[in-house]
Amino acid sequence: PAGVHPSAAVAASAVVGEGAAVAACAVVGEGATVGARTVVGPCCVIAAGATVGDDTVLHPNVVVEAGCRVGARCVVHAGAVVGSDGFGFATVRGEHRKVPQVGIVVVEDDVELGANVCIDRAALGETRIGHGTKVDNLVQIGHNVQIGPHSLIVAQVGISGSTKLGHHVVMAGQSGSAGHLTIADGTQVAAQSAVMHDTPPGAVVAGSPARPLREHQRAMAGLYRLEELRARVRAL
């Protein structure tokens, strides 16, 4: 039901829209905004200055970190974290020193984030998830990643920092990418593939490192014939 549960903690400066529901033990921080008709599940945290748009559903234990923005009509499943620190360290005399991550995450409208998805805030600027993109469970999206609209990011994908995905990109389960790449519009990455170089629009790639699908299939076919070839060589 709409309204704020008595055990929820909503800051005096926060704004909770008309018809929104804030469930038991949820926290809405200073200056945060919860949109109209939005559902904030039990034990969620919407940190200071964060924004969640209209008609969005946050399942239990979702965290939207300070200053981050989640759009309208989004669904964020249990345990997801929007705006955890990017993995940024500088090694000085053998010690790894943290580089402050002062950017934000922007999740555009109509996005779905699966359970335990982690999206890192940008070092500077924004990490952005495009309109209508769907992200499966247990996905890691690094700092300053840009994902275009209507992409599909399947379970256990890892996308390294500053990589740019175009629109309608598909990354199948357990695939990943190195950082600072461009995965162009309409690219399809097969399961358990590792993208190490930029892809052209409409590419279909597979393998580790990822290669064009037909090339990868030919290589695998040759690999599985090696034992037969060895036997013929021994016979010679």
**By C-alpha distance, which of 121, 148, 144 is closest to 67?**
121
How high is the pLDDT of residue 127? 98
Backbone angles phi, psi at 226, to 5 degrees: -60, -40
DSSP-derived secondary structure for 100-162: P---EEEE-TT-EE-TT-EEEPPSSSEEEE-TT-EE-TT-EE-TT-EE-TT-EE-TT-EE-TT
Widest CA span of the chain, in angstroms?
85
Digit-coded pLDDT (tens) for 135-163: 999 999 999 999 999 999 999 999 999 99
Q: Looking at residue 224, what is its pLDDT? A: 86
Model confidence pLDDT, tens digit, residues 102-122: 999 999 999 999 999 999 999
Question: pLDDT below 70 — which residues of the chain?
Answer: none
Beta bridge partners of 156: none
Give pLDDT, residue 15.
98
For the annotated catalytic residues, the residue numbers are 143
Q: What predicted TM-score, i.e. pTM, was given to this entire model?
A: 0.94
**What is the layout of strands, in order, in the sheet containing 158-159?**
9-10, 27-28, 45-46, 63-64, 81-84, 118-120, 140-141, 158-159, 176-177, 194-195
What the block records as the tokens of 73 is 């009509």
